Amino acid sequence: MGIGSKVRRLALLAGMAACAFGLSAAQAAEKHKIFLSMSYIGNDWQAEAANMVKAMAAHKSLADKVDLQVQVAGPNAQRQIQQINAMVQSGAEAIVVYPISPTALNQVVKNACDKGVKVFAYDAEITEPCAYNVHIDQLEAGRVTAEWLVKKLNGKGNIIAITGVPGTSVDDQRTKAAKEVFAKYPDIKIVGEAVGMWSQAVARTELSKILATRNWDDINGLWMQVGCFTANSMQLEAGKKTSELLPCAGEGSNGGRIQMLPEGTEVEGAAPPYAPAGAPRISYASPPYSGALALKLAVEAIEGKDVPKTTILPLPVVTNETIKLCDEGTWAEMKAGCNAFKPSLVSNPGWFASIFSDQTPEVGLAAALVGQPEE
């Protein structure tokens, strides 16, 4: 049999195999059309999570399977609904979405599901039963951090609360759980509260407004969904010593974690305020890898694998007792337990450090920084 005949025979066999699974030969060669639908993007976490989704799509295990397209709706539920409708009409097989609301997208998500589209929400939830959800226990996040702060203050003191993006399940659940803890302690007083939009810059603006009517000496502690790095920096700018930094229950920003290291610790690239200060902290995070995992699970669902409707991720919690500096930021090093990165590796102090998961070996430091997958 000649070479040409062999090629034709192999092509015929491939086509027959594809048809046996209900696919044409052309369809078998096509990639899965998947969309990333983002809502609010004005903070470090959202940019980092998007980088990790893109890196997952580019990993060698998925690059030949996935055609990823990205759209941003902003904090506008109606626009996100319109975009999701358009994604379905253009032939989406799956949509990975950061929902601006847990309920506003329900009808459009139901319509997508009815047309066979797999819809995976990451970090924030969608309550429509056909949707898949990948997230931490946000109630636990609010409760654990509030309890830590109460214990640090011995059940008494004035605190400031900086919340997240209003209307999201993440903000609603964290804030609800934290306030339920504080309500059990009559001597804990929330003397200032503001919407922080999960942004270090917004946190600075809102803290500055609160401090226009009081000073740091009037405050005993802080509960911040994002902003502990900024709050510590502002205290140092106001002339506070590192030993006077207030306890802060907040986000897993790398800057905040570097500040948690004992003062005097030698860290390459560190310079105040992005430097070890022994800052009293509990640092938690919605892991930025949640979107990447949602994409990976979406491909599995498209391919007919059994995927749970809800995937609850471990809550990454770091305290001054468990902070551990990464030397090079390799995936193996993170697997061994490091949870903060040298400023020489990560220049942005607002960048989120909780990027490791056993479930996503495809993405690591380069994925979170610049969208490049692991080798």
Kindly state whether residue 65 falls inside one of the protein's structural domains: yes
Q: What's the average model confidence in pLDDT over 330-345?
A: 96
* Segment 299-320, tens digit of pLDDT: 999 999 999 999 999 999 999 9
Contact 176, 139 (CB under 8 A): yes
Kindly state whether residue 7 falls inside one of the protein's structural domains: no
Select from 229, 262, 284 the last residue of a domain: 284
Q: How many domains does the chain have?
A: 2
Q: Are 61 and 107 within one domain?
A: yes
State the Cα–Cα distance between residues 96 and 43, nearest whole angstrom. 19
Question: Which residue would you say has higher pLDDT here, 13 or 308?
Answer: 308
pLDDT of residue 314: 97
Q: Are 82 and 102 within one domain?
A: yes
pLDDT of residue 46: 94
Closest C-alpha to 224, from 242, 239, 202, 241: 202
How confident is the prediction for the chain on average, in pLDDT?
92
Predicted confidence band of residue 229 (pLDDT cuts 50, 70, 90): very high
* Segment 112-135, tens digit of pLDDT: 999 999 999 999 999 999 999 999
pLDDT of residue 63: 97
Closest C-alpha to 121, from 63, 62, 38: 38
Q: Which residues are CB-neighbours of 8 under 8 A, at least 6 positions away? A: none
**Distances from the Cα of 355 to the Cαs of 74, 124, 184, 282, 351, in angstroms?**
24, 17, 34, 17, 10
Q: Are 56 and 100 within one domain?
A: yes
**Residue 14 in this model has a pLDDT that exceeds 90:** no
Q: What's the average model confidence in pLDDT over 293-301?
A: 98
Select from 264, 284, 304 the last residue of a domain: 284
**Residue 27 in this model has a pLDDT that exceeds 90:** no
Q: Are 99 and 164 within one domain?
A: no
Q: What's the average model confidence in pLDDT over 246-260?
A: 97
Predicted confidence band of residue 19 (pLDDT cuts 50, 70, 90): very low
Q: Are 63 and 145 within one domain?
A: no
* Segment 133-156, tens digit of pLDDT: 999 999 999 999 999 999 999 999
Q: Are 66 and 181 within one domain?
A: no
Kindly state whether residue 326 falls inside one of the protein's structural domains: no
Q: Are 298 and 189 within one domain?
A: no
**Residue 12 in this model has a pLDDT that exceeds 80:** no
Contact 301, 93 (CB under 8 A): no
* The token pair that represents 353 in the structure block: 């450090």
pLDDT of residue 30: 86
Q: Which residues are CB-neighbours of 264 under 8 A, at least 6 positions away? A: 276
Go through the chain and tell me how many residues it has.
375
Question: Which residue would you say has higher pLDDT here, 92 or 41?
Answer: 92
**Residue 343 in this model has a pLDDT that exceeds 50:** yes
Q: What's the average model confidence in pLDDT over 50-59?
A: 98
**Residue 336 in this model has a pLDDT that exceeds 70:** yes
Q: Are 64 and 190 within one domain?
A: no
pLDDT of residue 28: 40
**Residue 42 in this model has a pLDDT that exceeds 60:** yes
**Residue 196 in this model has a pLDDT that exceeds 80:** yes
Predicted confidence band of residue 296 (pLDDT cuts 50, 70, 90): very high
Neighbouring C-alpha atoms within 13 Å toward the C-beta of 196 = 30
* Segment 203-222, tens digit of pLDDT: 999 999 999 999 999 999 99
Q: Are 111 and 188 within one domain?
A: no
State the Cα–Cα distance between residues 357 and 288, nearest whole angstrom. 10
Share of the chain above pLDDT 90, in %: 90
SS3 annotation, the chain: CCHHHHHHHHHHHHHHHHHHCCCCHHHHHCCEEEEEEECCCCCHHHHHHHHHHHHHHHCCCCCCCEEEEEEECCCCHHHHHHHHHHHHHCCCCEEEECCCCCCCCHHHHHHHHHCCCEEEEECCCCCCCCCEEEECCHHHHHHHHHHHHHHHCCCCEEEEEEECCCCCHHHHHHHHHHHHHHHCCCCEEEEEEEECCCCHHHHHHHHHHHCCCCCHHHCCEEEECCCHHHHHHHHHHCCCCHHHCCCEEEECEHHHHHHHCCCCCCCCCCECCECCCCCCEEEECCCCCHHHHHHHHHHHHHCCCCCCCEEECCCCEEECCCCCEECCCCHHHHHCCCCEECCCCCCCCCCECCCCCCCCCCCCHHHHHHCCCCC
Kindly state whether residue 24 falls inside one of the protein's structural domains: no
Q: Are 252 and 364 within one domain?
A: no
pLDDT of residue 272: 96
Number of neighbours of residue 149 by Cβ within 10 angstroms: 27
pLDDT of residue 209: 97
Kindly state whether residue 346 falls inside one of the protein's structural domains: no
**Residue 61 in this model has a pLDDT that exceeds 50:** yes
pLDDT of residue 294: 98
Domain that holds residue 308: 30-136+288-314+360-370
Contact 67, 95 (CB under 8 A): no
Q: Are 123 and 216 within one domain?
A: no
Share of the chain above pLDDT 70, in %: 92
Q: What's the average model confidence in pLDDT over 84-105?
A: 97
State the Cα–Cα distance between residues 276 and 29, nearest whole angstrom. 52
Kindly state whether residue 126 falls inside one of the protein's structural domains: yes
Kindly state whether residue 301 falls inside one of the protein's structural domains: yes
pLDDT of residue 9: 41
Kindly state whether residue 319 falls inside one of the protein's structural domains: no
Q: What's the average model confidence in pLDDT over 150-175?
A: 97
CATH number, domain containing residue 223: 3.40.50.2300
Select from 284, 303, 329 the last residue of a domain: 284
**Distances from the Cα of 61 to the Cαs of 28, 64, 299, 300, in angstroms?**
17, 7, 11, 12
Closest C-alpha to 112, from 86, 136, 138, 133: 86
Q: Are 292 and 244 within one domain?
A: no
